[in-house]
Structure 1
């Protein structure tokens, strides 16, 4: 006997207030998701995320997430436009693959070491 994982089938849910859209078209049907997409677009414009003229663009995709409070209430609708990085070539489209992320536990560890070493 082999080990298997039963497949779970999701029912079609039309209440976009409590679910994450699966496509761009689906997100346009709900004002809160539309607003989240607009905020992401405006943030990209503010950060000058423009394509240099000598570069060819790669595809992108919208990713949607519901941010919830500990009591499972909706805190905010979050939409991100992400690049399809698998189409990039090292040295042409990008030069570094490291994205530094600092977590609070790392900061606490470094400060603890600094205090112990005076």
Structure 2
């Protein structure tokens, strides 16, 4: 859990602020997972802090959603373009 908190702080994922009047607080929860090695023995324990987004209502708690997703066709197009341009000297 300490490692997860350190990573959140290092990445600047969120910052602690005073709650504005009338604002609803969205809760968080810890999700734990045990990673096993190839022998089935415990390799490490992992912990993630996740927000309870299911408690929010569209239009009340938020008004837009941003979830960037690249389609495979787009990825192939960009790679093909880069390969084509890579053989030329670009200045």
TM-score per shorter chain, which class?
Answer: 0.5 to 0.7
- Relative to structure 1, the CA distance from residue 40 to residue 93 in structure 2 (aligned partners, 3 Å threshold; closer, same or farther) is farther
Q: Which residue of 2 aligns with 1:96?
A: 65
Matches within 5 A, 1:36-115: 37-48=1-12, 49-51=14-16, 53=18, 54=20, 56-90=24-58, 92-93=61-62, 95-96=64-65, 98=67, 100=69, 110=76, 114=80
Kindly indicate whether the alpha-carbon contact (under 8 Å) linking 1:40 and 1:81 is maintained by their aligned counterparts in 2. yes
CA RMSD after TM alignment: 3.3
Describe the shift of the 1:67–1:87 C-alpha distance in structure 2 as closer, same or farther (beyond 3 A).
Answer: same
The structure where strand makes up a greater share of residues is: 2
1:97 offset after TM fit, Å? 5.0
Runs of 4+ aligned residues of structure 1 deviating over 3 Å after TM superposition are 51-56, 91-94
Q: 2 CA distance for matches of 1:46 and 1:75? A: 25
Distance in 1, matches of 2:46 and 2:64, equals 28
Q: How many residues align?
A: 75
Displacement of 1:52 in angstroms is: 5.4
How far residue 75 of structure 1 moved from its aligned partner, in angstroms, is 2.3
